[in-house]
Amino acid sequence: MNHRISRTQFVAGSLALALAACSRGENSTPSAGSSAAAMEKAAEPTTAKVVKLGYQKIGPPFLLKERSQSLQQRLSASGARAEWIEFKHGPALLEALNANEVDIGYVGETPPVFAQAAGVNFVYVATDPPAPKAEAIVVQKDSPLKKLEDLKGKRIALNRGSNVHYLLVRALESVKLSIKDVEVVYLAPPDARPAFETGKVDAWVIWDPFLASAELAGARSLANGESLVDNHLFYVVRRSFAEQEAALVHLVLDEYKQLSDWESKHPEEAARLLAQSSGLSYEALLVAEKRHTYGILPVTPEILQKQQSIADSFRKLGLIPKDIRTGDAFLPAAVYQAKL
């Protein structure tokens, strides 16, 4: 199968199609925080700066939306307020960032590579520790596929440009196969799961908490990210916002860090809070919470070099249209120096 695309096709359509394909629906409406936070927001002057926070159903940003009173108070003291916008996957979030609809976002390790190649002007400001167990290639429990080599010629669903895209590349390389040896079906999680469950695809490459939900429904893992990928999650910021509002960026990240520390000690309570608003089961969220990695770390040259390796891999496969330097998406003054 020929996966090569032209620069024009990619730049004009890649991220935009990802956004359209995800059909943001309810995600286009800012999510409400706690009732106390909502009252504070109503009482704030209309001249307050708006910090637009993009999030997914993963990690501290999703949980902070539900426990945002402290953040709202700190932002209010700085003449600002938060606005929450949910996305189903990272590429859509980065497309919104490119359109100035998001200021600070939280995405996997691969979406920034595709976004940078498409000209999105963002910077890396912080990262979570690696979480290789939080993504996997799964098949149905009664599938005849038993090992990675069995994927040759099979239909595999994944979200284009997401962290799992790179996992599939590395997993196939580990058994001397290429992504050109399989048929990749690009589907966002809400579309991929029914395709997987009805046998329209042979395997699904997916991340938590959707991974945990699929496993609880009987899916079997062929491989997770261990020994293959780091699966970093990154906090990314619109470059102009990072340049002009570094103090607000650091304030938000400090709240994320505090919440991540709390979450690491209270996975059951975190899972209950998330289950109330996510539409996912408590059991799946608890599995995801217990294999999530906690803490927020600064972006280092070593981490940027790992991002460069991802970019080089996709460039070699013709999946991004040009060479990029991940170091160009780095603004030292905006990087969060976590207090460890």
Render pLDDT for 214-247 as a digit per residue (tens, 0 to 9).
Answer: 999 999 999 999 999 999 999 999 999 999 999 9
Predicted pLDDT of residue 60: 78
Q: Note whether residue 24 is domain-resident.
A: yes
Residues 273 and 314 in one domain: yes
Predicted confidence at residue 220, as pLDDT, reads 97
- Domain hosting residue 285, numbered range: 7-131+232-334
79: left (phi > 0), else alpha (psi -120 to 50), else beta?
left
**Helix 69-77 and helix 35-43: axis angle, to 10°?**
20
Whether 123 and 26 map to the same domain: the answer is yes
Q: Any bridge partners for residue 122, and if so which?
A: 238
Low-confidence ranges of the chain (pLDDT < 50): 1-45, 340
User: Two tokens at 152?
Assistant: 């040759």
What pLDDT score was predicted for residue 66?
Answer: 67
For residues 145 and 245, the answer to whether their CB atoms sit within 8 Å is no
| Predicted TM-score (pTM) of this structure | 0.81
* CATH code, 120: 3.40.190.10
Return the pLDDT at 213. Answer: 96
Cα–Cα distance for residue pair 99/93, rounded to 1 Å: 10
Query: Which pLDDT score, from 0 to 100, does residue 113 have?
Result: 96
Task: Write the pLDDT tens digit of every residue in 11-27.
Answer: 334 444 333 333 333 33
Picking from 181, 203, 224, the residue at the C-terminal end of a domain is: 224
Query: Rounded to a whole number, what is the distance in angstroms from the first to the last CA of the chain?
Result: 47
> Would you report the helix, strand and coil content of the chain in percent, each value rounded to 5?
50, 15, 35
Q: Which long-range contacts (CB under 8 A, 24 or more apart) does 315-320 make?
A: 315/117, 317/3, 317/4, 317/169, 317/178, 317/179, 317/180, 318/3, 318/4, 318/5, 319/3, 319/4, 319/5, 319/165, 320/10, 320/113, 320/114, 320/117
- Tell me the Ramachandran region of residue 218: left when phi exceeds 0, alpha when psi lies from -120 to 50, beta otherwise: left
Domain count, the chain: 2
Q: Which of 224, 245, 278 is the last residue of a domain?
A: 224
Q: Are residues 138 and 126 in the same domain?
A: no
Instruction: Tell me the residue type at 114.
Output: F
Is the distance from CB of 89 to CB of 162 less than 8 angstroms?
yes
Q: What is the pLDDT of residue 48?
A: 80
